[in-house]
Amino acid sequence: SVHPFCGGVPSDVRMTTRYRTDEFLSSLMGILHETGHGLYEQNLPRDLGHWPSAKARGMATHESQSLFQEMQLSRRPEFWAFALPLARKHLGAEHFEGFEMEDMLAHVHRVERGLIRVDADEATYPLHVILRFELEQELISGRLAPKDVPEMWDARMRDYLDLSTIDNPKDGPTQDVHWPSGAFGYFPCYTL
């Protein structure tokens, strides 16, 4: 999928990911994020599923579990003590030659400006959320016309991350599935 997602019920959770053949961490982090959703959903009470008390507490809680998995647990040395040998085994040890645990930890903790929210590091991720929330406020209030979103997006990306998307809408305002699906006001869920 272009944008990873997870859905289902406690007894049947399904997820998708996206992958790059030249870099496995983007796929892995996407899967780990969606695993947070899946684990949350699978741990809801199955025998009380018809009662409101057994339902998910909302998407903010859902996203908190996903981001905890992706941004916290998967960046711990204990996780990589488990995962790095598996990556070597399944992706080929030759791809990890000279790449040790310290290198992996430095890599997953690297702070780097980027265009794509789902690939952002823990430090720049909130800026991606703020940008979207501010544009949503402008759109909903009528101060920003939909046709002007690409230019405003570019201006905010330049302000916050010193990056431009003006000739690249797929890495700009159309990179997420939220707005096309009508999920306005959703992005603050990623801040809990």
Give the model confidence (pLDDT) of 18-27 as tens digits: 888 888 898 9
What is the reported pLDDT for 50? Answer: 84
Report pTM: 0.88
Give residue 172's pLDDT: 94
Average pLDDT of the chain is 93
- Say what the pLDDT of residue 149 is: 96
Please name the amino acid found at residue 187.
F
Nearest-angstrom CA–CA distance, 19 and 158: 27
Q: Is 162 left (phi over 0), alpha (psi -120 to 50) or beta?
A: left
Which among 6, 25, 169 has a CA at the least distance from the CA of 96? 25
pLDDT recorded at residue 64 = 94
pLDDT value for 19: 84
Q: What is the pLDDT of residue 165?
A: 95
Catalytic residues: 34
- Computed on alpha carbons and rounded to an integer, the radius of gyration of the chain in Å comes to 18
Cβ proximity of 96 and 87 under 8 Å? yes
The pLDDT of residue 23: 85
Residues of the chain with pLDDT under 70: 1
Q: Residue 49: what pLDDT?
A: 79
